[in-house]
Protein backbone atom coordinates (compact mmCIF):
# COMPACT_ATOMS: atom_id res chain seq x y z
CA UNK A 1 0.00 0.00 0.00
CA UNK A 2 1.23 3.55 -0.68
CA UNK A 3 2.54 5.67 2.21
CA UNK A 4 1.35 9.24 2.69
CA UNK A 5 2.72 12.25 4.52
CA UNK A 6 0.45 14.96 5.93
CA UNK A 7 1.85 18.32 7.08
CA UNK A 8 -0.57 19.88 9.53
CA UNK A 9 -0.94 22.75 11.96
CA UNK A 10 -3.33 23.10 14.88
CA UNK A 11 -4.45 25.28 17.73
CA UNK A 12 -3.94 23.07 20.77
CA UNK A 13 -6.34 24.99 22.99
CA UNK A 14 -9.43 23.03 22.02
CA UNK A 15 -7.90 19.53 22.23
CA UNK A 16 -6.97 17.11 24.99
CA UNK A 17 -3.57 16.69 23.39
CA UNK A 18 -2.46 15.03 20.19
CA UNK A 19 -2.80 11.30 20.96
CA UNK A 20 -6.17 9.59 20.54
CA UNK A 21 -8.10 8.84 23.76
CA UNK A 22 -11.62 7.65 24.46
CA UNK A 23 -14.34 10.23 25.12
CA UNK A 24 -12.25 13.36 24.64
CA UNK A 25 -11.46 15.49 21.60
CA UNK A 26 -7.89 14.93 20.40
CA UNK A 27 -6.00 16.04 17.30
CA UNK A 28 -5.37 12.46 16.19
CA UNK A 29 -8.98 11.49 16.87
CA UNK A 30 -10.38 14.35 14.77
CA UNK A 31 -7.82 13.80 12.03
CA UNK A 32 -8.52 10.07 11.70
CA UNK A 33 -12.27 10.69 11.78
CA UNK A 34 -11.88 13.11 8.86
CA UNK A 35 -9.59 10.73 6.95
CA UNK A 36 -11.62 7.57 7.52
CA UNK A 37 -14.15 8.04 4.69
CA UNK A 38 -11.17 8.18 2.29
CA UNK A 39 -8.79 5.65 3.83
CA UNK A 40 -11.26 3.17 5.25
CA UNK A 41 -9.69 3.58 8.70
CA UNK A 42 -5.92 3.99 8.40
CA UNK A 43 -3.85 4.28 11.57
CA UNK A 44 -1.73 7.39 11.65
CA UNK A 45 1.67 7.99 13.25
CA UNK A 46 2.99 11.39 14.28
CA UNK A 47 6.41 13.07 14.52
CA UNK A 48 5.88 14.67 17.93
CA UNK A 49 2.96 13.83 20.23
CA UNK A 50 2.07 17.17 21.77
CA UNK A 51 0.49 17.47 25.22
CA UNK A 52 -2.88 19.03 26.03
CA UNK A 53 -2.85 22.70 25.09
CA UNK A 54 0.35 22.62 23.01
CA UNK A 55 0.13 23.97 19.45
CA UNK A 56 1.84 22.94 16.22
CA UNK A 57 2.61 25.08 13.20
CA UNK A 58 4.49 22.23 11.49
CA UNK A 59 3.49 18.76 12.63
CA UNK A 60 4.03 15.70 10.42
CA UNK A 61 1.78 12.64 10.22
CA UNK A 62 2.13 9.51 8.08
CA UNK A 63 -0.14 6.60 7.23
CA UNK A 64 -0.61 3.82 4.71
CA UNK A 65 -3.72 3.57 2.59
CA UNK A 66 -4.99 2.52 -0.85
CA UNK A 67 -4.66 5.06 -3.68
CA UNK A 68 -6.00 8.51 -2.76
CA UNK A 69 -7.07 11.49 -4.82
CA UNK A 70 -4.68 13.79 -2.94
CA UNK A 71 -6.24 17.15 -3.83
CA UNK A 72 -9.72 15.89 -3.03
CA UNK A 73 -8.74 14.34 0.32
CA UNK A 74 -6.84 17.45 1.37
CA UNK A 75 -9.82 19.65 0.54
CA UNK A 76 -12.26 17.33 2.31
CA UNK A 77 -10.16 17.05 5.46
CA UNK A 78 -9.58 20.80 5.63
CA UNK A 79 -13.30 21.43 5.28
CA UNK A 80 -14.07 19.02 8.12
CA UNK A 81 -11.35 20.23 10.49
CA UNK A 82 -11.63 24.00 10.02
CA UNK A 83 -10.76 26.11 11.99
CA UNK A 84 -8.76 24.13 14.59
CA UNK A 85 -6.62 21.92 12.34
CA UNK A 86 -5.25 22.64 8.86
CA UNK A 87 -3.71 20.25 6.34
CA UNK A 88 -0.98 22.23 4.60
CA UNK A 89 0.04 19.40 2.30
CA UNK A 90 -0.72 15.77 1.58
CA UNK A 91 1.77 13.87 -0.59
CA UNK A 92 2.71 10.29 -1.38
CA UNK A 93 6.16 9.37 -0.04
CA UNK A 94 8.59 6.46 -0.33
CA UNK A 95 7.57 3.23 1.33
CA UNK A 96 9.18 3.04 4.75
CA UNK A 97 8.71 6.71 5.58
CA UNK A 98 7.53 6.91 9.19
CA UNK A 99 6.61 10.32 10.62
CA UNK A 100 8.06 9.40 14.01
CA UNK A 101 10.95 7.03 13.37
CA UNK A 102 12.23 8.74 10.22
CA UNK A 103 12.36 12.15 11.90
CA UNK A 104 15.88 13.41 12.62
CA UNK A 105 14.97 16.62 14.46
CA UNK A 106 12.22 18.53 16.22
CA UNK A 107 12.13 22.24 17.05
CA UNK A 108 9.87 24.09 19.47
CA UNK A 109 9.18 27.73 20.25
CA UNK A 110 8.13 28.92 23.72
CA UNK A 111 6.87 32.50 24.11
CA UNK A 112 6.94 34.59 27.29
CA UNK A 113 5.41 38.06 27.54
CA UNK A 114 7.79 39.76 29.96
CA UNK A 115 5.96 42.96 30.73
CA UNK A 116 4.37 44.56 33.80
CA UNK A 117 0.93 44.34 32.18
CA UNK A 118 -0.64 41.39 30.35
CA UNK A 119 -1.79 41.58 26.71
CA UNK A 120 -5.28 40.32 25.85
CA UNK A 121 -4.38 39.94 22.16
CA UNK A 122 -1.53 37.54 22.95
CA UNK A 123 -2.93 35.89 26.08
CA UNK A 124 -3.71 32.63 24.26
CA UNK A 125 -0.11 32.25 23.00
CA UNK A 126 2.23 33.61 25.66
CA UNK A 127 3.06 32.98 29.29
CA UNK A 128 2.79 36.34 31.04
CA UNK A 129 5.54 37.01 33.58
CA UNK A 130 5.48 40.49 35.13
CA UNK A 131 8.86 40.56 36.92
CA UNK A 132 11.76 41.34 34.64
CA UNK A 133 13.69 38.26 33.57
CA UNK A 134 17.44 38.28 32.97
CA UNK A 135 17.85 36.77 29.50
CA UNK A 136 21.62 36.64 29.87
CA UNK A 137 21.33 34.33 32.87
CA UNK A 138 18.74 32.22 31.06
CA UNK A 139 21.09 31.76 28.11
CA UNK A 140 23.97 30.90 30.43
CA UNK A 141 21.76 28.14 31.78
CA UNK A 142 20.86 26.94 28.29
CA UNK A 143 24.53 26.60 27.34
CA UNK A 144 24.86 23.97 30.09
CA UNK A 145 22.05 21.95 28.53
CA UNK A 146 23.25 21.84 24.93
CA UNK A 147 24.88 18.54 23.98
CA UNK A 148 24.28 14.96 25.12
CA UNK A 149 23.02 14.60 28.70
CA UNK A 150 20.74 12.53 30.84
CA UNK A 151 17.75 14.89 31.11
CA UNK A 152 15.96 12.92 33.86
CA UNK A 153 15.77 16.09 36.01
CA UNK A 154 13.76 17.76 33.24
CA UNK A 155 11.54 14.90 32.07
CA UNK A 156 8.56 12.95 33.21
CA UNK A 157 9.83 9.46 34.00
CA UNK A 158 8.65 6.20 32.49
CA UNK A 159 10.02 2.91 33.73
CA UNK A 160 12.79 1.50 31.54
CA UNK A 161 12.81 4.43 29.11
CA UNK A 162 16.04 6.34 28.63
CA UNK A 163 16.12 10.05 29.35
CA UNK A 164 19.40 10.58 27.53
CA UNK A 165 18.99 13.09 24.69
CA UNK A 166 21.19 15.34 22.56
CA UNK A 167 20.09 18.94 22.60
CA UNK A 168 21.26 20.71 19.44
CA UNK A 169 20.44 24.27 20.51
CA UNK A 170 18.46 26.21 23.07
CA UNK A 171 18.47 29.99 22.99
CA UNK A 172 16.34 32.78 24.43
CA UNK A 173 15.81 35.88 22.34
CA UNK A 174 14.29 39.17 23.44
CA UNK A 175 12.20 41.12 20.96
CA UNK A 176 10.41 44.15 22.39
CA UNK A 177 8.35 42.86 25.34
CA UNK A 178 8.58 39.17 24.39
CA UNK A 179 11.26 36.65 25.13
CA UNK A 180 11.11 33.34 23.36
CA UNK A 181 12.99 30.09 23.54
CA UNK A 182 13.95 28.35 20.36
CA UNK A 183 15.03 24.80 21.09
CA UNK A 184 15.97 21.91 18.81
CA UNK A 185 16.96 18.27 19.25
CA UNK A 186 16.80 14.96 17.44
CA UNK A 187 14.15 14.06 20.01
CA UNK A 188 12.88 15.29 23.37
CA UNK A 189 11.69 13.27 26.33
CA UNK A 190 8.25 13.96 27.79
CA UNK A 191 7.73 17.49 29.22
CA UNK A 192 11.39 18.33 28.58
CA UNK A 193 10.74 21.66 26.84
CA UNK A 194 8.26 22.94 29.40
CA UNK A 195 10.52 21.83 32.28
CA UNK A 196 13.44 23.59 30.63
CA UNK A 197 11.34 26.76 30.39
CA UNK A 198 10.33 26.55 34.06
CA UNK A 199 13.96 26.09 35.09
CA UNK A 200 15.07 28.97 32.84
CA UNK A 201 12.46 31.29 34.36
CA UNK A 202 13.62 30.40 37.86
CA UNK A 203 17.17 31.23 36.80
CA UNK A 204 16.12 34.40 34.98
CA UNK A 205 14.40 35.49 38.21
CA UNK A 206 17.72 35.09 40.11
CA UNK A 207 16.39 32.22 42.20
CA UNK A 208 18.93 29.64 40.95
CA UNK A 209 22.43 30.33 39.64
CA UNK A 210 22.94 29.21 36.02
CA UNK A 211 26.12 27.43 37.05
CA UNK A 212 24.04 25.12 39.23
CA UNK A 213 22.59 23.52 36.09
CA UNK A 214 25.25 20.80 35.64
CA UNK A 215 24.65 19.62 39.25
CA UNK A 216 20.88 19.70 38.72
CA UNK A 217 21.25 17.53 35.60
CA UNK A 218 23.61 15.18 37.43
CA UNK A 219 21.13 14.82 40.31
CA UNK A 220 18.48 13.35 37.96
CA UNK A 221 16.08 14.78 40.58
CA UNK A 222 13.03 16.38 39.07
CA UNK A 223 12.02 18.14 42.28
CA UNK A 224 14.90 20.57 41.72
CA UNK A 225 13.56 22.01 38.47
CA UNK A 226 10.34 23.80 39.41
CA UNK A 227 7.68 21.89 37.47
CA UNK A 228 6.51 22.67 33.97
CA UNK A 229 5.69 25.94 32.24
CA UNK A 230 2.11 26.37 30.93
CA UNK A 231 1.30 24.46 27.74
CA UNK A 232 -0.55 27.20 25.84
CA UNK A 233 2.66 29.13 25.08
CA UNK A 234 4.45 26.19 23.43
CA UNK A 235 4.40 25.41 19.69
CA UNK A 236 6.05 22.63 17.68
CA UNK A 237 7.51 24.65 14.80
CA UNK A 238 9.59 22.21 12.74
CA UNK A 239 10.31 18.55 12.12
CA UNK A 240 13.33 17.52 10.06
CA UNK A 241 13.86 14.41 7.95
CA UNK A 242 17.53 14.10 7.10
CA UNK A 243 18.16 17.80 6.40
CA UNK A 244 19.20 20.01 9.33
CA UNK A 245 16.44 21.68 11.33
CA UNK A 246 15.75 25.23 10.22
CA UNK A 247 16.87 27.71 12.90
CA UNK A 248 15.14 31.07 13.35
CA UNK A 249 16.75 33.94 11.41
CA UNK A 250 17.87 35.72 14.58
CA UNK A 251 19.85 32.61 15.58
CA UNK A 252 22.04 32.65 12.50
CA UNK A 253 25.55 33.41 13.61
CA UNK A 254 24.70 32.44 17.18
CA UNK A 255 26.02 29.28 18.85
Instruction: Give contact residues for a copy of itself (rule: CB under 8 A).
Output: 9-11, 55, 57, 78, 82-88, 117-121, 123-125, 235
Q: At what angle do helices 135-145 and 192-204 cross, to 10 degrees?
A: 140
Nearer to a copy of itself, 87 or 179 (CB): 87
Catalytic residue annotation: 51
Nearer to a copy of itself, 54 or 152 (CB): 54
Task: Compute how many other C-beta atoms are within 10 angstroms of the C-beta atom of residue 221.
Answer: 12
In whole angstroms, the minimum distance from the beta carbon of 124 to a copy of itself comes to: 7
Nearer to a copy of itself, 82 or 159 (CB): 82
SS3 content of the chain, % helix, strand, coil (to 5): 30, 30, 40
Burial 109-121, CB ≥16 within 10 A → b, else e: bbbbbbbeeeeee
In whole angstroms, the minimum distance from the beta carbon of 56 to a copy of itself comes to: 9
In whole angstroms, the minimum distance from the beta carbon of 194 to a copy of itself comes to: 18
With beta carbons less than 8 A apart as the criterion, state whether 148 and 104 touch: no
Where do the DSSP E strands lie in the chain? 3-10, 44-46, 55-64, 85-93, 105-114, 127-129, 147-150, 164-175, 178-185, 234-240
What is the rounded distance in angstroms from the CA atom of residue 24 to the CA atom of residue 204? 37
Nearer to a copy of itself, 9 or 143 (CB): 9
Task: Compute how many other C-beta atoms are within 10 angstroms of the C-beta atom of residue 252.
Answer: 7
In whole angstroms, the minimum distance from the beta carbon of 253 to a copy of itself comes to: 22
In whole angstroms, the minimum distance from the beta carbon of 14 to a copy of itself comes to: 9
Amino acid sequence: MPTYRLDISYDGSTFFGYGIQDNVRTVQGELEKALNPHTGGANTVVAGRTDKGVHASAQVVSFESGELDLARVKRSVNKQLWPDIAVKSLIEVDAGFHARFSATGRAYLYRILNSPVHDPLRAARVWHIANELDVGLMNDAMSHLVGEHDFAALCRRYKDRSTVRTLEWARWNRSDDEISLSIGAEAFCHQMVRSTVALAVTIGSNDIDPDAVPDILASRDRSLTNGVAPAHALTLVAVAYGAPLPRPTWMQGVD
